[in-house]
Copies of this chain bind each other. A is one copy, B any other.
Amino acid sequence: IETSNAERLRVLIGDLHESDLGDVLQALSREEREALIALMGGDFDWTALTEVDETVRDEILETIPNTAIAEAVRELDSDDAIGILEDLADEDREEILAALPLAERIKLERSFDYPEESAGRRMTTRFIAVPPFWTVGQTIDFLREDDRLPDDFTEVFVVDPRFCFLGTVSLDRLLRTKRPVRIEEIMGEVTHSVSATDDQEEVARLFERYNLLSVGVVDESDRLVGVITIDDIVDVIEEEADEDIKRLAGVGDEELTDTFVSAVRSRFIWLLLNLGTALLASAVIGLFDGTISQMVALAVLMPIVASMGGNAGTQTMTVAVRALATRDIETINPIRFISREALVGLANGVLFAIIIGVVASLWFSSTQLGGIIAVAMIINMVAAGLAGILIPLALEKAGADPAIASSVFVTTVTDVVGFFAFLGLAAWWFAIS
């Protein structure tokens, strides 16, 4: 298809939804993408760029002159325009902004003043605002006549002459009310509004909690500057959950289309941290090399204690990190949570102590060895439960993201405690017996 037949391409691609077009772009090679966009010309749906991974977007934008991008950005909703321009180099972005008409430039520049991942970046500045003294009839006539309205909307916002945010009227309310009624009579009070500097994750929680469809965004002086709609929030929720999963595994915000070099680099740091942990654990083992050389069975069995602790710690940690992320934890007494985790660790510790104690006794025909590994297992499982809950809580208190750093600390604790308890107990027991 790529062999320059522009007519056929337009027929095939022209009606695709932006998400589907995004998928097409993603599946193509770099050169094919360039050819496709050139062939589509003015018919190319630029919103598709908001649907592709960052790496692909950057590659595409690099090949297009800034003036053409500026042309395209004018057609977009402000939140889509920001999504596209956000990751560009500063000088490219400024060149594109400079090529825009003054009004649009100011609007976009203001959005870029808000921090990344804030409500101000996610909001659209196209929304419908009416004064409170209008009637339902006036409002409906206004909606019927104005062509420059946003494509989809579910609420009308009510503002005073200074553009202070007074309230909202949902469209179904508007439809169900007789024409002469004044807007202020049916207006819902502002129960939820966000400030433009709020974090997008907080905004997402608000939507989730109160089942909102859209919410007004106000600036420092309480004036309505934009609207965030649920469709943007759905993406935020998905992104934030994705981030949590990937941070727990130490792959940051890696995406499938990331280049080889960036994948190697982002994972290297995590693995380096892990190497530090592993060396620490090795140093603990090194303390007991005399004991091991007397009894090689210790070397055979020691990874079991460490690995069981590591898994139990990860389980607790995951529950804790998710509870922190979804704010579920705020409704629970932390002492109750901590003691529950310690008890769960103890219970599973005892169960697995019995199992591994019997296995080790039979394998090496030594009930002493079985007893030692059983006690070490209980100690490490309780330590795992406590580390799994206390480390994320402490990181959250210290203002760090518990999803990023918890697992390194938790496995450090379970490795060190596991090896130390098992080998230390063995050294002590065989020394006194």
Interface residues of A (CB under 8 A from B): 17, 19, 23, 26-27, 140, 143-144, 149, 152-154, 170-172, 174-178, 207-213, 230-231, 233-235, 237-238, 241-242, 244-246, 248-251, 254-257, 260, 263-264, 267-268, 270-272, 274-275, 277-279, 281-282, 285-286, 289, 292-293, 296-297, 299-304, 306-308, 311-312, 314-315, 317-319, 322-323, 326, 328-333, 337, 340, 343-344, 347-348, 351-352, 355-356, 359, 411, 415, 419
Contact = CB atoms under 8 A, between A and B. Distances in A.
A351 B268 contact: yes
B241 A242 contact: yes
A11 to B, nearest CB: 18
A273 to B, nearest CB: 9
A245 B256 contact: no
A301 B283 CA distance: 9
7 contacts: A154-B213, A175-B175, A270-B315, A277-B307, A278-B307, A279-B304, A307-B415
A282 B241 CA distance: 36
Nearest to A347: B264
A322 B246 contact: yes
Contacts of A415: 303, 307
B213 A213 contact: yes
B143 A260 contact: no
Nearest to A339: B260
A337 B254 CA distance: 13
A178 B315 CA distance: 59
A272 B348 CA distance: 10
Contacts of A140: 175
Contacts of A264: 344, 347-348
Contact of A355 (B19, B241, B275, B351): B275
Given A246-B319, A251-B315, A302-B303, 13 more contacts: A17-B210, A175-B175, A237-B238, A238-B241, A249-B314, A256-B337, A260-B344, A264-B348, A268-B351, A278-B304, A282-B303, A289-B300, A299-B302
Number of copies: 2
Given A304-B279, A322-B242, A285 B299 contact: yes
A296 B289 CA distance: 6
B343 A260 contact: yes
A249 B207 contact: no
A340 B303 contact: no
Contacts of A271: 308, 311-312, 315, 348, 352
B270 A311 contact: yes
Contacts of A207: 234
Contacts of A144: 175-178
A149 B175 CA distance: 12
Contacts of A263: 340, 344
B152 A170 contact: yes
A172 B235 CA distance: 23
B149 A176 contact: yes
Give the most central of A27, A209, A337: most B CB within 10 Å.
Answer: A209
Given A256-B337, A311-B271, A340-B260, A319 B251 contact: yes
Give the most central of A19, A299, A356: most B CB within 10 Å.
Answer: A299
Contact of A348 (B209, B246, B268, B319): B268
